[in-house]
Amino acid sequence: MNPEEFCIPVRVYIEDTDAGGIVYYVNYLKFMERARTEWLRRLGYVQSSLLANNIQFVVRATDLRYRQPARIDDELAVTAALEKAGRASMAFHQQVWRSGELLCDGRIQVACVRADTLAPTALPSAVYQAIREGENA
């Protein structure tokens, strides 16, 4: 895990697992969503405020590799590293770790859309600037 990546802790609960106590594959996407949301919050923006201003982020594409299973009660570290920021989209490299062991990694593409029409739109200037400054921090 790169110490410069944004990272959040996630505990695996029973609701995250299948009947065998192994994290259901789609829940890794939920963990990654939380990390991106907290990454954005760290920049000073919350999803609810953006939504109130008719801005929403939607996942456009995913490419994940599952390496090892996470299990009930595991303590995970979920990273979000911005790879590219365009005027209306962002690309992230994300990973899920357990005690130094990489469990899942992948790339997530996120598009900025108008909440009312879901049509692509440019990131608000202030958000775009904060992202660009965050890249250089």
Catalytic: 18? yes
Q: Does residue 27 lie in a domain region?
A: yes
DSSP labels, 112-128: EEETTT--B-PPPHHHH
- Spell out, as residue ranges, where the chain has pLDDT lower than 70: 1-4, 135-137
Return the DSSP state at 23.
Answer: B
State the pTM of this model: 0.93
Q: Does residue 119 lie in a domain region?
A: yes
Catalytic residue among 16, 18, 63, 74: 18
Q: Does residue 31 lie in a domain region?
A: yes
Q: Does residue 39 lie in a domain region?
A: yes
**What integer pLDDT is reported at residue 137 of this predicted model?**
58
Strands (E), 3-88: 6-11, 55-66, 75-85
Domain that holds residue 93: 6-135
**What integer pLDDT is reported at residue 132 of this predicted model?**
84
Residue located via tokens 């989209």? 89
Q: What is the CA radius of gyration of the chain?
A: 15
**What integer pLDDT is reported at residue 5 of this predicted model?**
83
- Number of domains forming the structure of the chain: 1
DSSP labels, 17-30: B-TTSBBPTTHHHH
Q: Does residue 1 lie in a domain region?
A: no
Cβ atoms 1, 73 nearer than 8 A: no
d(CA 130, CA 104): 28
**What integer pLDDT is reported at residue 135 of this predicted model?**
66
CATH code of the domain in which 23 resides: 3.10.129.10
Residue located via tokens 């991106």? 36
